[in-house]
Structure 1
């Protein structure tokens, strides 16, 4: 069942064409909320993949290519109990604002999308989307960066330096910023993230020290074997990421549940796994994850 009507999409197109100031006006009018409330945990739905040219979900290379379908899946996810907010690039966030879907939601702005999937410069991940001043001006609640570290790729240093300056700006603006670090390397010309506990611990140590203050810094970390040791590597509040769709969903949920019980873990930031579940039931997948994060949900 489609969540967003064709009339709503037509109004969004007309808004963009005839009244572009209506987008920032919609962001300014939206009802905002405190970052943490109640149980102090967060469940954020992520949708910043397309701006990096990453449209695939599992074996479907163009799963996220249809913007209307993606927005409809996001609208359904945001309507479910326990979903605290959404992570996206400006185009996604502006669409959702124009559709009136961001009231009482945490909005997380994705900052560096220059490391295009498969590009020779993928590890020189330029900051080509939001910056801190624009997020503060637009009332964005949270910033997010991707920090892939390849010790054999000189492009990594530019990403590290740019990320440090983003952390500085976020700390000065008292804007929470989550860093998503990986130790990465090229295998057959493709960038692959090392998901061993040792590599995640190393990437966390590197990312935690970026910038002149860590007061506003959060971590966004993958769920890996020996997650207990990973969480012992940082005192920073941490959200777990979900990764690509694949494998047994029940096993995935069980893995998340165990990791969510660890000290320092504050919730989930998951996208494709929940927006494009193998059985097609977005509401059920989102509801299951929401109950893992917010244990007081019915």
Structure 2
């Protein structure tokens, strides 16, 4: 699927003249009947932080269209604006769509009710730890509400520690394992909870949960080194906001590694 000049102009025209087209696009999206692929895996591309690196929007959408055109890609994880642009471009039929709910302690993206109303498949949330009690409660409430509607709650737990007044991400397995246990217990049920964890993964971190996991990391990293074979790992997330070079070959290579691992 190519974002031609004509399609780009049409998208901009729709944005300016017909805001109701977005609601119509949500309502008419063809949902796929299951979350996992036929191989019981989940391969998502991500644009949940489009402001990172201030990418050109047309270039980002072109990358997403190329990736989504690959049948091995199950779907996308994105903020409302990105999801809606892909909807207007007819790129999300029969794809899994997870909406980004927050990127900090406040929930400023999708909420659970809107995800249900829009017919999306779940929501993704960032959980900074130790963080604040209110942030943990907001994540727990979102998990509970999403589960009540049978939607996926994908939690990305990120442990932090103070360093001269500035929080620093903790990447050691012990800190990540503790964060996994906290995230796993949020909400009134974990039946629909998934975890998004940094690649390549480690036995200590992945062994801290029975919840399904997707591994996420820099697209340039070698996916063959990722622990995709681990029992709790069900797939991967490729962040296209950090991908340099050609999208097609990178997506194809990652898909082959995932298929071989499972």
| Band of TM-score, shorter chain | over 0.9
* Residue of 106, 109, 112 corresponding to 2:102: 112
Change (3 A) 1:282 1:29: same
Q: Which residue of 2 aligns with 1:176?
A: 152
User: Is the 1:42–1:293 contact (alpha carbons within 8 Å) kept by the matching residues of 2?
Assistant: no
User: Is 1:289 aligned to residue 254 of structure 2?
Assistant: yes
Distance 1:126 1:79 in 2: 33
Distance 1:214 1:18 in 2: 42
Equivalent residues in 2 for 1:37-52 (5 A)? 37-50=37-50
Distance 1:167 1:262 in 2: 25
User: Is the 1:197–1:224 contact (alpha carbons within 8 Å) kept by the matching residues of 2?
Assistant: no
User: Is 1:239 aligned to residue 229 of structure 2?
Assistant: no
User: Is the 2:157–2:196 contact (alpha carbons within 8 Å) kept by the matching residues of 1?
Assistant: yes
Distance 1:108 1:166 in 2: 13
Question: TM-score, normalized by length of structure 1?
Answer: 0.82
Change (3 A) 1:192 1:81: farther
Q: Which residue of 1 aligns with 2:237?
A: 269
Q: Which residue of 1 aligns with 2:117?
A: 137
Q: Which residue of 1 aligns with 2:224?
A: 254
Give the C-alpha shift of residue 6 in structure 1: 1.2
Distance 2:165 2:3 in 1: 40
Matched position secondary structure for 2:83: helix
User: Is the 1:43–1:83 contact (alpha carbons within 8 Å) kept by the matching residues of 2?
Assistant: yes
Tell me how many residue pairs correspond in the alignment: 261
Equivalent residues in 2 for 1:59-138 (5 A)? 62=54, 64=55, 66-113=56-103, 115=104, 125-138=105-118
Deviations 1:121-180 (A, max 9, x none): xxxx10111011101111111211000113xxxx52221110011011011111111100
User: Which blocks of at least 5 consecutive residues in structure 1 are unaligned?
Assistant: 57-61, 116-124
Give the C-alpha shift of residue 235 in structure 1: 0.7
Matched position secondary structure for 2:44: strand
Change (3 A) 1:68 1:191: farther
Matched position secondary structure for 2:253: helix
Question: TM-score, normalized by length of structure 2?
Answer: 0.93
Please report the RMSD computed on the Cα atoms of aligned residues, expressed in angstroms.
Answer: 2.1
Distance 2:179 2:70 in 1: 33
Equivalent residues in 2 for 1:20-39 (5 A)? 20-33=19-32, 34-39=34-39
User: Is the 2:224–2:257 contact (alpha carbons within 8 Å) kept by the matching residues of 1?
Assistant: no
* Residue of 165, 185, 196 corresponding to 1:220: 196
Q: Which residue of 2 aligns with 1:121?
A: none
User: Which blocks of at least 5 consecutive residues in structure 2 are unaligned?
Assistant: none
* Residue of 159, 167, 171 corresponding to 2:135: 159
Distance 2:117 2:165 in 1: 39
